[in-house]
Structure 1
């Protein structure tokens, strides 16, 4: 094995393209779950309170997930089916957008209620 081959394996690595997409999807999914819980809390289904704090966290997590997915798509050179994580980043964009919408709905509801 040559030095160039070892460097290429260390830099590229197996599945390294999926890491950014998986991280973006995980952060976006956290935003989606927190947005759903905050919306349920503001509707009075679980707990008490307006869910405002959860809505803000959902907005931040959704936005951060969207930013990570966008960064991954901008820096990714692979195509679909190559293991570069392009499809995962697109899914993370959609999930982050839903989390963002749920957080925004909850904030709008908490403003009208209080």
Structure 2
């Protein structure tokens, strides 16, 4: 295969990956953010004490945001409709997955903020 034929096949998605690669990446990042958020929520609830729950919450927010942005970009740039093999359905599924990771991370940070307050003081 010549170099020009390899470049043409790569541009069409034949060698490097098909149209689902971006959607699969967004799904993976969103699922990772959701898993990190669930572990951080368990840490904030006191069920496991592996490390700092606040760091896990921030990581879940970051991963969820990246997954959502990747999914929206892929959904906006994919050609064709659902069922054409371009990964549009995967990108649509990845959007709420990433948003769920962001919401879980926010819940963890809210719980951690409440745990850091002194017991005898009322919030102003």
Q: What TM-score do you get using the length of structure 1 for normalisation?
A: 0.89
Pick 1 or 2: higher relative contact order, CA cutoff 8 A, min separation 6: 1
TM superposition shift of 1:7:
5.3
TM superposition shift of 1:10:
2.6
Q: Which moved more, 1:70-79 or 1:45-54?
A: 45-54
- Asked if 1:46 corresponds to 2:37, the answer is no
- Asked if 1:11 corresponds to 2:11, the answer is yes
Give the structure with higher Rg (CA): 2
Q: What TM-score do you get using the length of structure 2 for normalisation?
A: 0.82
Distance 1:99 1:53 in 2: 14
Secondary structure of residue in 1 paired with 2:46: coil
Partner of 1:68: 70
User: Residues 17-52 of structure 1: CA distance to partner in whole angstroms, max 9, x if unpaired?
Assistant: 100000011011110000000000000111166500
In the alignment, structure 2 segments of 5+ residues that lack a partner are: 117-124
CA-based RMSD: 2.1
| Equivalent position to 1:33, from 32, 35, 43 | 35
Partner of 1:108: 110
